Amino acid sequence: MTSNFKKLFIYFIFFYFIFNIEGKAKNAPESFADLAEKLMTSVVNISTTQTITTQSNPFPFQFPPGSPFEDMFKEFQRPTERKATSLGSGFIVNKDGTVVTNNHVIANAEDIIVRVNNKEYEAKVLGADPYSDVAVLKIESSEKFKPVEFGNSDKARVGDWVVAIGNPFGLGGTVTSGIISAKHRDINLTRYDNLIQTDASINQGNSGGPLFDLDGEVIGINTAIISPSGTSSGIGFAIPANDASKVVDQLIKYGETKRGWLGVKIQYVTKEMAQVAGLNEARGAFIGGVSEGGPAEKGGIKTADIVLEFDGQKIKTMRSLLRIVANTSPNKKVAVKVWRDKKLITKRLTLGRMESVKEFKK
C-alpha cells in the first residue's frame, strides 16, 4: 500500500465516522408548531373555588390567653368567609374526559371547572393522592375528547428536548420548550420525590400540566419551580410519567392508592454510620425503629439494620427505599437484604398496605 493511498484511506475512514455520527444525532427541531397543534386540544385549564374562613379581630391587639377580657370581647371576633380561586393545568388521558392533574391544584376545592378548547365543563374528583401530588378528574359530559398517552420516562435522557403546555397566570394554551436538565431530583416536595428537572418555562398555573417529549408522549407532570421571585427561573420540576401513571391507574380503578407498607422508621446512612457498621460506603437505609406487629417485625428485621436490597432492587438511599416499597403491591412476598453485625443476611416477609395503617389515614 503506497503512502498516498494510506493517507487517502485514513481520511476516508475519518470522514465516514464523523458523517455517520452526525447522521445519527438528533438535531434541534426547526419548529414545535406541528407538535403543539397536535397536542393543544388534549391539555386543559383548571379553575377551582373554595371557601376560606378567617377570624376577624376589630381590635389592633390580642388579649393574652387566660385574660379576663378574653371572653368579654369574644363576641366581637366573628368568623368571616370569602371565596378563593386558583388556577392550574391538566391533560386528558381517556376520550371519556378523564383528566390528570396535581393534587394541590384541586385540594379542598368545592367547584372545579375544566376548560377544553375554550369550552367550560364541570368536573368531579375520581381520586387524589397527596403523597405523590397526583389527582384524577372526570369531566361531566358525554362528549368525546382527544387523549394523550404516557411515555416511558425512564428512557428520557438529560439533554433531551421537552415541551410544556399549560395555563400559566391564567393564559391558557401557552407552549414553552426546553431540555431535561437533570433526573432523579429530590427537593422534599413530596414523600416520593424522584423528579425530572427542566429549563422549559414553568410558572404559576402550569401545575398539573404535561411535559411532552418530541414524540408527543407525556413524560412528566409539571409540579413545581424553584424561584426567589415566584416566576420561572429555568428550574422547573415534573413528576416522571412512570411514577405518575401507576398512581393514575390506581386512582381510576379504585379511587385511592394501594401502596406497600414495610412498618419501619428509617433514616439516611451517614459516612460515620457506614464506617461503624463496616460498610465500604454510605448507602442503604438505616432502620431507626420497627412498628410493633408490622411486616418488618414479623419478618425478623431489627432496629439498626441497614437495608441494602429490597425485592431485588438495590437501595442507594433512605428515599429510594420509600419509593420502592410504595411502588410494590400490598401482600406481596419479598426478600429484603439487610446489613447486620457486618454481615449481609436475607429476610423474607409479606408487605402490608400503607393506606390501612392508622398513622397514614387521611
- Catalytic machinery residues: 104, 133, 207
Q: How far is CA 36 from CA 269, 275, 301, in A?
A: 45, 53, 52
Cell numbers describing residue 349: 416477609
For residue 148, which of 112, 201, 103, 100 has the smallest C-alpha distance?
100
Write the burial class of residue 316 (CB in 10 Å: 0-12 exposed, 13-18 middle, 19+ buried): middle
219 in Cβ contact with 196 (< 8 Å) = yes
- Strand, coil or helix: 358: helix
Q: How far is CA 215 from CA 27, 89, 161, 248, in A?
A: 14, 21, 10, 21
Q: Measured over all CA atoms, what is the biggest interatomic distance in the chain, rounded to whole angstroms?
A: 109
Write the burial class of residue 358 (CB in 10 Å: 0-12 exposed, 13-18 middle, 19+ buried): exposed
C-alpha torsion sign, points 118, 199, 223, 184: positive
> Could you give the residue ranges of the DSSP H alpha helices within the chain?
3-24, 33-39, 68-72, 103-106, 241-254, 271-277, 295-298, 318-326
Cell numbers describing residue 282: 454510605
* Count of positions (residues) in the chain: 362
Write the burial class of residue 317 (CB in 10 Å: 0-12 exposed, 13-18 middle, 19+ buried): middle
